Structure 1
Amino acid sequence: MEYFPIFMRLTGEPCLLVGGGEVAVRKARLLLSAGARLTVVAPDLVPELTELAARGEISHVAACFAPQQVGGQRLVVAATNLREVNRLVSQTAQAQGIPVNVVDDPELSSYITPAIVDRSPLVIAISTGGGVPVLARLMRARLESLIPAGFGRLARFASRFRDRVKQRFTDVEQRRAFWESVLEGPLAERVMNGDESTAESELLQRLAAGDSTPAGAVYLVGAGPGNPDLLTFRALRLMQQADVVLYDSLVAPELLELVRRDAERIFVGKQRANHSMAQEDINRLMLRLAQQGRRVLRLKGGDPFTFGRGGEEIELLAQQHIPFEVVPGITSASGAAAYAGIPLTHRDHAQSVVFVTGHKKDGSIQLDWPALTRPDQTVVVYMGLAMAAEICAAFIAHGKPADTPAAVVHSATTERQRTLVGTLQTLPAQLAASGIGSPALIIVGEVVSLSSRLGWFRRVEDAAVTIGQDS
């Protein structure tokens, strides 16, 4: 290990920054965020540093560097574009035993500044010993995407109870088990969501009972339309810490690869007239698993509350006082439209958008057709593929022009995506000839005509008739 990692307290401590350019600005931000009492030495300052000096947040010495300026400093940074000046700053500081960093020059530095992931008081430092700073920044970017912003709040919350937990659990292993159950369970999620009062009440109850067993919880997570890159950070984190995963047929295989390797996986998919597990059984299974102290991930395609029956699934949990959280996902309509080049709204074509399901609980398609056939509107039909011919005919029968552009988007946002573009009149025959099956959405409205110009992701199969012109 070439460099010994260390964290230094700088709150209220005098620090010196030599240089007034853009590089110095970045270092000034870091030092100020650590609470340093900062003096900047430079004949001229860039605007941001000038503003900081005007507000009294830094002290400005409008002069060239002089060795006597180093005396009494806790930390020194050289950020000029003159190596001879930087060398003099380094030699002066090191002669007095003061840590000094010369930006982008490890040879002149007694310490180096790492790439930082800041979730204060949780701080992660990444270093390549000054040799490949770009690699350190790339690693930081990856960690930034994996570590929620709420971890800082969680760290502050937990530190408040450190002494009480130590008194309650004198055995180290019991104490470790308690903290693991807290920091990886629903209590931690409450804290990160900003509900610290409820979390505090639960923690104190567990402390009083001496309870260090894991607490069960259910997370309804929207997996989005299929492309793993469209997952939210929160969805990905919960997928990687779940004990058991209940997933449906709309969850793409690529998404399951992101689930924790040792998590139990249970398929609970439902397709039209072919339910592997009834909804009531799914609800009871989630309840039973959570009551066993397991973290249950209910992974659902699209968004849990957009035709995902998420509301039904959490009703029983709420009645039984099981902690749960709903993590929204990109609903399939948004994903399909975006990747097919079909804007759901457009100033020239559609001032509103309506989402409907292609069939009701009893299998009928008795929809509010007068509302769905209004002009200047986009209609997205979920779960309507099996009844596509009937749906298109119903649109026409209720007054929608037969040449209204319509599309089917299959396996949206994935490499398997196919887009059929036609009209209400032609789409059923195109669909029958294509062999396309579920999952797929139907989009009806003038905005579909834009697909030939705006579609980019996968092949667009146009109808024989020309609908690509603006109407």
Structure 2
Amino acid sequence: MTAALAAPTLDGLPLTVGLAGREVLVVGAGPVSARRAGTFLDAGATVRVVAPRVDPAMADLAARAGDRLVVVARHFTPADLDTPWMVHVATGDPVVDTRVAALCEQRRIWCVTAGDAALGSARVPARTAVATPAGLVRIAVDSGDPRRSVRVGRHVARSLATAPAGLRARRRPDAGWVALVGGRGDDGDLLTVRARRLVHAADVLVVDGAPDPGLLAELDDDVEVLEVGTDLPADRVARLVAARFASGHGVVRIAGAADLAAESRHLDGVGVRFEVIPGVIEGGA
């Protein structure tokens, strides 16, 4: 008999931390610290680096970051913990890393220890993102094994690119969006990867005639599907699209090139922003 696998235990709670305008202390200035400092800067943090020696990668980052990244060329002291919200330590010296982590624990400051994750109180997960009209969907993976986490994150991103279910925004954004997609609504296999991603992010789908049942089956039940028919004038279709856009909805219109060209002129005339996605077959866009 095969023994059942034990239920996995979680040794941490994944969180998204707001670092904008907050200080992160980086102890150590090697290549790993430079990469992480760049990550913190991208998150909006101000970064202070303390290290007796500075890697060229960190020096280059400091030159580009301006006053958002300050390098202090000396050894770490406990006073360095007086102001940061979070600490990242990667000195290459286990004794120093352990000391910094212990002091952070005493002061209740989250600490990431790159050399030995078990020493710290926080970890930086592998990260990737999928773009949607309503904003980025950020994916973070933490397995305790950084290289495995990176591979899993990339796999998830690739999967969402080809089967983009679940990308639709649930909170109404400040403004709507429109994508004009070249192709046929009755054959989802002829849509590009980009077009399928937009369809799955849309609140409203506008097609000529009956849409592909397989494509419909992938959508949320409350997505509005408008079958407009090939004989409906371009200005009428454009008014339908513009009304949904004005209500803050994401709209995908699938049609042939001639129809989209006519409808785009009407949308331009009423100030509707839109993206054009060409079709995958000649004459399909």
TM-score normalized with structure 2 length: 0.62
**Corresponding residue number in structure 2 for 1:298:** 253
| Aligned partner of residue 122 in structure 2, secondary structure | coil
Structure 1 residue 24, shift from structure 2 partner: 0.7
Residue number among 113, 121, 124 corresponding to 1:110 in the alignment: 121
* Residues 198 and 252, structure 2, Cα contact 8 Å, conserved in 1: no
Structure 1 residue 77: deviation in Å? Answer: 0.6
Aligned to 1:436: none
Q: Match of 1:81? A: 92
Partner of 1:231: 193
- Post-superposition shift, 1:283? 4.5
CA deviations on 1:288-347 (whole Å, 9 max, x unpaired) are 9659969764323xxx54xx432234567778x6958452315635xxxxxxxxxxxxxx
Structure of higher RCO (CA pairs closer than 8 Å, 6+ residues apart):
2
If you compute each CA radius of gyration, which structure gives the higher value, 1 or 2? 1
Query: Residue 126 in 1 paired to residue 140 in 2?
Result: yes
Residue 22 (1) aligns with residue 31 (2): yes
Give me the whole-angstrom Cα distance separating, in 1, the residues matched to 2:268 and 2:85.
55
Q: 8 Å contact 2:98–2:119 — kept in the other structure?
A: yes
Aligned to 2:154: 138
Q: Which string of whole-angstrom CA distances, capped at 9 and with x for unpartnered residues, describes residues 344-369 of structure 1?
A: xxxxxxxxxxxxxxxxxxxxxxxxxx
CA contact (8 A) 2:181 2:279 kept: no
Q: Distance in 1 between matches of 2:107 and 2:232?
A: 73
State the distance in 1 between where 2:188 and 2:54 align. 50
Structure 2 residue 267 is matched with structure 1 residue 328 = no
Q: 2:72 aligns with which of 61, 74, 78?
A: 61
- The residue number in structure 1 matching 2:219 is 260
Alignment of 1:29-48 (within 5 A): 29-48=38-57
Q: Secondary structure at the match of 2:278?
A: coil
Q: 1:457 maps to what in 2?
A: none
Displacement of 1:42 after TM fit?
A: 2.6
TM-score (norm 1): 0.41
Q: How many residues align?
A: 256
SS of equivalent residue, structure 2 residue 112:
strand
Asked whether the 8 Å contact 2:128–2:154 carries over to 1, the reply is no
- Distance in 2 (CA, whole Å) between partners of 1:4 and 1:115 is 15
Q: Is the contact between residue 117 and residue 125 of structure 1 (CA under 8 Å) also seen in structure 2?
A: yes
**Which of 210, 214, 220 lines up with 2:180 in the alignment?**
220
Find the aligned partners of 2:265 and 2:144 in 1 and give their Cα distance: 54
Residues 105-157 of structure 1, C-alpha deviations (whole Å, 9 max, x = no match):
331111222345689x98846243635532563377459967xxxx9xxxxxx
Is the contact between residue 75 and residue 99 of structure 1 (CA under 8 Å) also seen in structure 2? yes
Alignment partners' CA distance in 2, 1:326 and 1:13: 36
Preserved CA contact (<8 Å) 1:116 1:123: no
Give matches, 1:329-368, under 5 Å.
329-330=278-279, 332-333=281-282
Are the aligned partners of 2:52 and 2:74 in contact in 1 as well (CA < 8 Å)?
yes
**8 Å contact from structure 1 (residues 17, 76) kept in 2:** yes
Hey, what's the Cα distance between the residues in 2 that align with 1:280 and 1:229?
Answer: 23
Q: Shift in Å at residue 17 of structure 1?
A: 0.8
Q: Given the superposition, is the C-alpha separation of residues 228 and 96 from structure 1 closer, same or farther in structure 2, using an over 3 Å criterion?
A: farther
* Paired residue secondary structure (1:232): helix
The SS at the match of 2:99 is helix
* Cα distance, 1:78 vs structure 2: 1.0
Identity in percent: 24
Gapped regions of structure 1 (runs ≥ 5) = 152-175, 190-217, 269-276, 334-381, 383-438, 440-471
Match of 1:280 in 2: 231
3-state DSSP class of the match of 1:80?
coil
Shift of 1:45: 2.2
Q: Map of 1:135-174 to 2, 5 A cutoff?
A: 137-138=153-154, 141=157
Determine if contact 1:19/1:79 at 8 Å carries over to the other structure: yes
Match of 1:3 in 2: 12
Gaps of 5+ in 2: 1-9
Deviations 1:230-283 (A, max 9, x none): 4326x622454244442589x9x7994786254576888xxxxxxxx6x43475
1:82 shift after superposition: 3.7
Q: Distance in 2 between matches of 1:248 and 1:331?
A: 20
Distance change >3 Å, CA 43–CA 144, structure 1 → 2 = farther
